[in-house]
Amino acid sequence: MKILVTGAAGFIGSYLCERLLEKEDIKVIGLDGFINPALILTKQRNLKLLLSNPRFQFHQVDLRQADLRRLLDGVEVVYHLAAMPGVRTSWGTDFKSYVDHNILATQMLLEAARGCPLKKFIYISTSSVYGEKIGKVTEDSIPTPLSPYGVSKLTGEYLCKVYQVSYGIPIVILRYFTLFGPRQRSDMAFHRFIKGILQGEPIQIFGDGKQTRDFTFIRDCVEATVAALYAEGVIGETINIGGRERASILEVITMLEDLLKKKATIEFTERLKGDPLDTWADISKAKSLLNYNPTSSLKSGLEQQINDICDMPG
């Protein structure tokens, strides 16, 4: 089976490609435009294992410039992860990049997929589409994003749905809740916290640190994502992918201090605009449709992320 993965050099995309390639009958076409030039070394590190696999073909190209029809030739499943992530940077003039990469590029891929005999087009979305909700959130809860990032990803979901209705593209939407673990993006909280504590530098917390997140370990999330490939009855569905444990930011810092045996110096700054206070996924649907059962504890996942950061060159 030939699968196209967009965003293949990213944090999640690179793990997904590795996991897919463990199955001998799968070939992966990885596409990534290395959108942030400052992160080229990170992307190369993410791709290192993959590039030595003869069943992996990599195309370093922006979706908006790629010959997508040719890349889709013979492809049975698309995983669309390529996006401009991050809530903080989605305000102001930077929003243009979110429109380009999250909306326009998605529409171009869907347009190219018209008429292709795809079995599934799996769109990776985010808990940021929900906005502020109380308690566990189910997939039928009305999306009310708080950030331009959330708006751009929700627009991607709507584009998928209109292409499904009018052109029969077999859409599956997975909404991920905050991922962590090895290769986590350097702008994300745990990565910044671990580096700061290791280097004895102050770490910045937005707000009072009491905000909670449903943290999903990368390998659990990838298991669910691969399960969507084989699962029946998922076309047209939207499915939450959350983790095993929720925690507040302050609880995570305490855990990191214990694991690293060093005290953190914390600088509290203004609460981020666009960030909900709490996120909490109801994963009953993922359990029943994907047989999903997240097994990684926060502590063991953090240990693995610490080891990964310590192994980084420089």
Ligand X SMILES: NC(=O)c1ccc[n+]([C@@H]2O[C@H](COP(=O)([O-])OP(=O)(O)OC[C@H]3O[C@@H](n4cnc5c(N)ncnc54)[C@H](O)[C@@H]3O)[C@@H](O)[C@H]2O)c1
What is the contact surface with ligand X in residues (CB under 6 A)?
7, 9-13, 31-35, 43, 62-64, 81-85, 101, 105, 124, 126, 153, 176, 178-179, 185
d(CA 88, CA 211): 16
Q: How far is the CB of 31 from ligand X (least distance, A)?
A: 6
d(CA 297, CA 314): 29
- The CB-nearest residue to ligand X is 10
d(CA 217, CA 15): 12
- The residue annotated as part of the active site, out of 149, 163, 176, 292, is 149
Q: How far is the CB of 11 from ligand X (least distance, A)?
A: 4
Q: Which is nearer to ligand X, 83 or 118 (CB)?
A: 83
**Tokens, residue 230:** 């084989």
**With contact defined as beta carbons under 8 Å apart, do 295 and 244 qualify?**
yes
**With contact defined as beta carbons under 8 Å apart, do 197 and 256 qualify?**
yes
Q: How far is the CB of 287 from ligand X (least distance, A)?
A: 19
Q: Which is nearer to ligand X, 178 or 258 (CB)?
A: 178
**Tokens, residue 273:** 């605009």
Nearest one of 43, 249, 9 to 18, comparing CA atoms: 9
- Amino acid (1-letter code) at residue 186: S
Q: Which is nearer to ligand X, 202 or 224 (CB)?
A: 224
Q: Which is nearer to ligand X, 176 or 201 (CB)?
A: 176
Q: How far is the CB of 66 from ligand X (least distance, A)?
A: 7
Whether 130 is a known active-site residue: answer: no
Residues annotated catalytic, as ranges: 149
